[in-house]
Each structure stands twice: as structure tokens, then as C-alpha cells.
Amino acid sequence: MYFSTVCGLLVAGLLALAPGPAAAQEVELPHLGELTGNLSHDAVSRSLEHAIEEGMTLPPGYPDDLEHAVLVHLEVSPAGQVENACLVPAEKGINAVVATAVLAAVRQLPVLVPGQQGGQPVRVALALAIRPGVAAGAANRAAEARAAAEADYTEASTLRAGTIRPRPGETLGQLLHRALPASCPDTATRLVRYAWVPNLAGPQLFFDAPGHGAQGEKYEAVLFVLNPLGAGGYDVQALNLGSMGDKTDVISVFFAHTNHDGSKDLLALMQCDLRREFAFNTERFPHYQTTVIHYRGLDSAGRPRYEQQHRADLDELATAAAVRQALAAPPRRVKNAPKRNPRAKAAN
């Protein structure tokens, strides 16, 4: 009786997991001897639990606690119909949203192949432990993916337009969150204000963000430069600073004289933690790189133009103070190697 019941429930679990018509399908089962030691009643129950968890719909933001489970009793009739499903009362009660989602998922199960005894279909009772956190996690991930896609689309549209302007009564923070939702800084401390480019309507705004979507890969660093247009509006440019080989973060944005021409340049100090060897079990070590951004006047549309320069002599300097100190030092003169007399070489 045990193995015949298991055979029927195994097919039931598989059918519940796969979409298809409501009618039971003919499936050729292995001999009972082949199932000895390979299947258990628990394995069959887990297949049905998985089907119910996958079929649940919970609102975004529901806690995805995988330790919490709801007990469900149900019966599979001799005709393969799921009947008499009910939730077992718990000490802390059962959330009404969860109860509705679980029973709705049970009702969506297709007609199952029933258990058998002596070659005849029989009614089988099951007790299943359903984890709402599985469905909640899937719902939350789907909601996060939709929100991220919408934010990327809005930000890409902003960068294509090239300008942002506040709505009546809208603050700067609200403007940035609306126009650049994927990259805008979470706190005001990440927003740098500085009057760098001359003859603009006020100080420029600078902030960094990880690359994404049209702005670059997730391991790359992006620096946003906002040029004031007056009346609270800004021209927006996203400068892709690239990657140092893995996830790269901008740890400091500052201004300094880099070529002793009397004007300051914009500098972005970046950090990337790399493994000494290409192996997953080795320790990571931080590396540093500074990108210098030069202002190159206005383009034909009146927008500032920038040119990026990697200064290898500033590599591995870990702070803005160390970079400034290196820039303040007089340039080092590199001695040329003495030229060898080709005739002397030939004589040797």
C-alpha cells in the first residue's frame, strides 16, 4: 500500500509543478522494486509544497522569513481532485493575507493522479508545510526588478534630454530623486558643490554612482556632473570612469592644480579590491587610481566639454591628501639611459 500510494503521489507532485491541461495524464511508472529505497513520502510532499509556494501571490514587501511555515491539510480524492483543504490553526494565528494566498494556490493545482491500493484509486490525506517566505521572496525580487527597470528607464530618458528642471515647490533632493532615481545620492553628504567651470549660473554639483544600464557596467564607476542653468535647472552629464578590474568605487571627489597652469582640475579617487591571485579563496587587497578631468570649454550647444586623463604617477595613493601632496611636488626629471656606441657593440 505504501509504495503504490507513493507512486501515485509522485506523479501528482510532478504534474502539479508543470503547467498543462487539467485532465490527468497517462504516465508509465517504474516497477515497485525499482522504487525501494529511492523515494519517500516526504519527497512527494515536498514536490506539492513547492508547487503551492510557487503558485502563491503575496504583496511586495511581505517578510520573506523562510523559517516560518503554515500547515495545510488536504485530501486527494480517488478522481485526483484536491479537496477539503484547510489551514491548521497556529499559536500566533495565521495572517489573513497568507491564508488567502495559500488556499488560492491550492485551488489552482491541476487534477492529480491519485494514490492506489490493490490497483484501485484511493483517497489520500496529506499534511504540507508551506513557507510563505518563498513566495514573498519571489514577489519582492520581482517588485525590486520592476522598480529598478523603471528607474533605469527614467534616468536614461533624463540623460537623453540632457537637462532637468524642478517642478513648482520641488526641492533639489526631490528633483534628483525624480529625474535620476537610479543614481541620485541617498544623503546630502555625497553631493559635492563647487564653482569650477567659469561663467555658469552658480556652483556645479557632483556625485558618483555605480555603473548600470546606459551609464555602464555595474563594476564601473560613474561621475555625474550637473551644471546650473538658472531657475533651479541643471544640465546633466554622466562621465564613465571605467573599472579597475572589479567593482570600482569613487571614494573622493576634489579639485587641485595638476599641470601648474593656474586652473584647477576635477579629480576622482577610486578604489578597487583585487585578489593577489586569480583564485576565489585568496585575500583581497585595495588598489587606488586617480582620474583627472580637464575642462575643455563649451561645445557648439553651449554644454561644457570634459577630457579624462589617467595619471599613472598617482596610482596607489589612498587619500586625496596624498594625491595633493604628490601634485604639489616638483615634477621628477627622468634621466635618459646612456646611448651605447653601435661601433663598440659591433667590435665586441
CATH code at position 36: 3.30.1150
The string of pLDDT tens digits covering residues 245-300 is 888 999 999 999 998 777 899 999 999 987 665 556 667 789 999 999 999 988 88
Is residue 129 one of the residues assigned to a domain? Answer: yes
| Structural domain contains residue 232 | yes
230 with 306, same domain?
Answer: yes
- Nearest 10 degrees: Cα torsion 199, 201, 202, 208: -90
Instruction: For residue 185, tell me if it sits in a domain.
Output: yes
**pLDDT, tens only, 8-22:** 444 444 333 333 333
| Same domain (yes/no): 132, 176 | no
Is 342 inside a domain boundary?
Answer: no
If asked whether residues 180 and 303 sit together in one domain, one would say yes
The answer to whether residue 148 is domain-embedded is no
Boundary of a domain, candidates 139, 174, 209: 139
Confidence (pLDDT) at 140: 77
Of 61, 84, 73, residue with least CA distance to 132: 61
What is the pLDDT, as a whole number, of residue 302? 81
Residue 188 lies in a domain: yes
Indicate whether 87 and 214 sit together in one domain: no
**Terminal-to-terminal C-alpha distance of the chain:** 98
Q: In terms of domains, do 118 and 7 share one?
A: yes
Strand ranges inside 82-232, DSSP E? 82-87, 115-117, 120-122, 124-130, 163-164, 192-194, 204-210, 221-230
Let me know whether 80 and 15 are in one domain: yes
User: Which of 123, 139, 155 marks a domain boundary?
Assistant: 139
Closest listed residue to residue 222, CA positions, set 213, 235, 234: 213
Q: Are residues 193 and 48 in the same domain?
A: no
Q: Residues of the chain with pLDDT > 70: what percent?
A: 75
User: Residue by residue, what is the 3-state secondary structure of 84-113?
Assistant: EEEECCCCCCCCHHHHHHHHHHHHCCCCCC
Question: Domain for residue 183, yes or no?
Answer: yes
Task: Enter the pTM of the model.
Answer: 0.63
* Residues 200 and 64 reside in one and the same domain: no
CA-based nearest residue to 269, from 320, 198, 209: 320
Q: Count how many domains the chain has.
A: 2
pLDDT at 100 over 80: yes
The DSSP result for 230-261, as a single string, is ETTEEEEEEEEEE-SSS-EEEEEEEEE-SSSS
Residue 78 domain boundaries: 2-139
Q: Are residues 191 and 130 in the same domain?
A: no
Residue 38 has pLDDT above 50, yes or no: no
Q: What is the pLDDT of residue 175?
A: 95
Instruction: Examine the domain organization and report whether 318 and 173 are in the same domain.
Output: yes
- Give 316-341 pLDDT, tens digit per residue: 999 999 999 999 887 655 455 555 55
